[in-house]
Amino acid sequence: MSLFDLTGHTAVVTGSTKGIGLAIVREMAAAGANVVVSSRDQGLCEKVAAAINDEFGGGRTIAKAIAFDLEERDSIRPFTDAAQKAFGGVDTLVCNAAVMSLRGPGAFDRTLTGNIHHNYRLCESFRPAMAARGGGSMILIGSVSGHTAQPKIMAYSTSKAGLAHLARCLADETAGQNIRVNCLAPGLIRSEASETTLGEAGLAAAAPGIPLRRVGEPEEIAGAVIFLASRAGAYVTGTTLWVDGGRTFLPADRLL
């Protein structure tokens, strides 16, 4: 069997009805996993789950929809219980949902509370059952902005830096339970959000500043998630995997 095969595996992906999260949940299903689709909108979750079942299920239900709002602390335990019941256990948790509150009173607190505090509590909520199952993988979706200061998104950048260190700390605590915890840091990725913010012209203008000279695609983040979730990544924990076309650590003006 392929090292990247996820047959018999169950994955929970928060924020998985659009953009990077949608690509992750689709590609994990394509690799054989049962998947829990989640976002704030139950109706949209059900629509995505139905599409995945039609495309990859072969007549079986391999995707189920469970709404979850990262900003609602009281929703963490009910979501955890429902997700674990969906397919009889969870092997991988992908913390992709994020808060990006840019302005206004409380924006900094709101962003850090959602992205760090609530993702930590979500991991801790899944941890006992995952340990009892024999282990698993937790993947925190960070960002290149967690390594370099970004204009106008101080709270978001700070929270993503915190997620990278949270992954290291959790990995240390959970290693004895065979639970691997890693952070994945995407660079500039083509998505609804980046297209709305930058437009096609803005994405094209950003490409020369990336050593690979192009913007990333959501499926390229999904591939890295599958690596970390599968047997291919079985000896990887406590690290940050940069999926950014070389943007963070390589000079963009190098000769290719």
First to last CA, the chain: 36
Residue type at position 237: T
* Nearest Cα to Cα of residue 121 among 168, 72, 164, 88: 72
Residues paired with 181 in a beta bridge: 138
Backbone angles phi and psi of 20, in degrees to 5: -60, -45
Taking the C-alpha atoms of residue 21 and residue 146, their distance in angstroms, rounded to an integer, is 19
Residues 13 and 1: beta-carbon distance below 8 Å: no
Positions annotated as catalytic residues are 156
Helical (H) or strand (E) element with 112: helix 107-112
Residues 171 and 181: beta-carbon distance below 8 Å: yes
Taking the C-alpha atoms of residue 146 and residue 185, their distance in angstroms, rounded to an integer, is 8
Tokens of 14: 């928060």
DSSP state of 146: G
* Nearest Cα to Cα of residue 116 among 99, 91, 135: 99
Taking the C-alpha atoms of residue 45 and residue 51, their distance in angstroms, rounded to an integer, is 10
Tokens of 132: 């009892």
